[in-house]
Structure 1
């Protein structure tokens, strides 16, 4: 049983998933190519993280890239007027509650992953946002 203080979601609300979603904004290491960044993140770092996350009840773990190709594409679509964030990837974790997130963050194997950041990202520029998600459309269908 998860203590009430660690539960996900906002009390007395509807439409929220009742999950804890941690979104991490990542800037790749200076001088690293887009291809090397994707390769390292996908095949090394993320693969090391996956079993640790699973041990703590992760619901989903995904990486979204925002690299040169993506920036050019959206600028072309928006005729050069897109106000783009200066990050190269978004890492998204969805946990059932804050306790699961905390257990991952303080897991000795999870903490050891931080030392791997120097191989592909600029740790000083990393930003985080954590909260619940209000879901409007899922699988192409309006929710609620």
Structure 2
């Protein structure tokens, strides 16, 4: 097995374990509703962990079967890679800001900065989309799912 295929198998197993952990933790969340249709705050993590698990199994399978054909080099100085790294850093800043600034202000600023980073030019569209998304997420979690946000 060459190095790239071995990496695919190891990364696939790693993310498969992550998906199992996420799924097991999501089962501990409170569920509300009818006996046969209980849904709660763990629903989205359950679905996402299943998708992550299936994709991880696919990566492991491709690594074992040797159907991986990707041979790539990463050029960190390409604009799209710099934008990706900036987005990852902004995500960490957003997570830290959630605790001190709160959900609504942090999310609004995070979305505005992301849209500017990805070169959305229309300031009215930026403000409208950021405000609408922030309000909608806050409303869904606080009113429907009854999950307090910071």
Q: Same fold (TM over 0.5)?
A: no
Larger Rg, first or second structure (1 or 2): 2
Q: What is the TM-score when the length of structure 2 is the normalising length?
A: 0.23
Structure number with the higher strand fraction is: 1
Q: What is the TM-score when the length of structure 1 is the normalising length?
A: 0.24
Higher RCO (C-alpha under 8 Å, 6+ residues apart): 1
